[in-house]
């Protein structure tokens, strides 16, 4: 893909012809190598958020092969069920995934969705970002996948693609590099 597309400086807009070629190349790559994950076949913000919370610092194989995703959805099928659970029950269900602050924050976010939004997950990016434990990437991912919002979701893989395609001079593992990537992705 890098050889097919002329590299640009990060401040340059992507010309339509290159944008179409990039889209085509990425879709072709996904059709050949992409994985079929259960959260890719839903637009339910809860199911998508479950995957995003579990996949922070945890490999996909752990989440799927050990049944965490499926078991979680069986035990807590929606924001309401999660919000009514005791924190101890939530932490027990999270056991084995590590980084228990994710579970605590997810529980707090479910309570906020029920209390502040009447059980309806907000589609507005800034409201999603205000929920406990949800950062810029997770908010963008949920807004994009659940609501088809045209907002960035820059994870480590996307950052590497953008950095190579647009010849970023800044290191992408620094706060200034991350800021530059997000500013560019936000358009």
- For residue 46, what is the domain's CATH number? 1.10.340.30
Say whether pLDDT at 121 is over 90. yes
Residues in the chain, how many? 187
pLDDT of 45 strictly over 90? yes
Residue 84 lies in a domain: yes
Do 77 and 114 lie in one domain? The reply is yes
Same domain assignment for residues 61 and 78: yes
Share of the chain above pLDDT 70, in %: 90
Q: What is the pLDDT of residue 178?
A: 86
Within a domain: 170:
yes
Say whether both 48 and 133 belong to one domain.
yes
pLDDT band at 4 (very low <50, low <70, confident <90, very high): very low
Residue 169 shares a structural domain with residue 110: no
DSSP 123-160: -SHHHHHTSTT--HHHHHHHHHHHH--------HHHHH
- Together in a domain, 134 and 184: no
Residue 134 lies in a domain: yes
Whether residues 59 and 133 fall in one domain: yes
Q: How far is CA 42 from the centre of its chain?
A: 14
For the chain, the maximum distance between any two Cα atoms, rounded to a whole number of angstroms, is: 54
Cα Rg, the chain, nearest whole Å: 18
- Residue 95 among the catalytic residues: no
Show the tokens assigned to 50.
Answer: 């479950």
pLDDT band at 3, cuts 50/70/90? very low
Q: Are residues 140 and 101 in the same domain?
A: yes
Identify which of 1-15, 116-130, 157-171 has the greatest average pLDDT.
116-130
Q: List the structure tokens of 187.
A: 């358009």
Between residues 140 and 158, the one the model is more confident about:
140
- Specify the pLDDT at position 55: 94
Residue 10 falls within a domain, yes or no?
no
Which one has a higher pLDDT value, 46 or 26? 46
CB neighbour list of residue 165: distance below 8 Å, 6 or more residues apart: 2, 5, 7, 8, 22
Catalytic residue from among 20, 32, 47, 52: 52
**Residue 117 sits in the same domain as residue 185:** no
Residues 100 and 134 in one domain: yes
Residue 143 maps to a domain: yes
Specify the pLDDT at position 42.
95
**Is 120 a member of any domain?**
yes
Whole-number pLDDT of residue 20: 80
Residue range 80-112, pLDDT digits in tens: 999 999 999 999 999 999 999 999 999 999 999
**20 Cβ contact list (under 8 Å, min separation 6):** none
- State yes or no: pLDDT of 31 exceeds 80: yes
Residue 32 lies inside a defined structural domain of this protein: no
* Per-chain mean pLDDT for the chain: 88
Q: Is 104 exposed, middle or buried (0-12, 13-18, 19+ CB in 10 A)?
A: middle
Position 86 in a domain = yes
Domain count, the chain: 2
Q: What is the pLDDT of residue 179?
A: 86
How many other β-carbons are positioned within 10 Å of the β-carbon of residue 122? 20
| Domain with 48 in it | 41-147
Q: Are residues 120 and 84 in the same domain?
A: yes
């Amino acid at each position: 893909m890098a050889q097919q597309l002329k590299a640009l400086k990060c401040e340059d807009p992507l010309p339509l012809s290159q944008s179409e070629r990039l889209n085509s190349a990425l879709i072709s790559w996904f059709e050949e190598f992409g994985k079929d994950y259960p959260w890719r076949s839903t637009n339910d913000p809860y199911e998508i958020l479950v995957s995003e919370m579990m996949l922070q610092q945890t490999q996909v194989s752990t989440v799927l092969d050990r049944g965490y995703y499926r078991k979680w959805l069986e035990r807590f099928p929606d924001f309401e069920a999660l919000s009514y659970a005791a924190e101890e029950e939530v932490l027990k269900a999270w056991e084995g995934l590590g980084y228990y602050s994710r579970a605590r924050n997810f529980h707090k976010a479910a309570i906020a969705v029920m209390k502040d939004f009447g059980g309806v997950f907000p589609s507005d990016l800034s409201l999603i970002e205000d929920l406990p434990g949800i950062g810029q990437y997770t908010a963008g991912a949920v807004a994009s996948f659940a609501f088809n919002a045209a907002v960035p979701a820059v994870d480590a893989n996307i950052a590497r693609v953008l950095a190579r395609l647009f010849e970023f001079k800044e290191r992408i593992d620094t706060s200034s590099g991350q800021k530059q990537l997000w500013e560019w992705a936000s358009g």
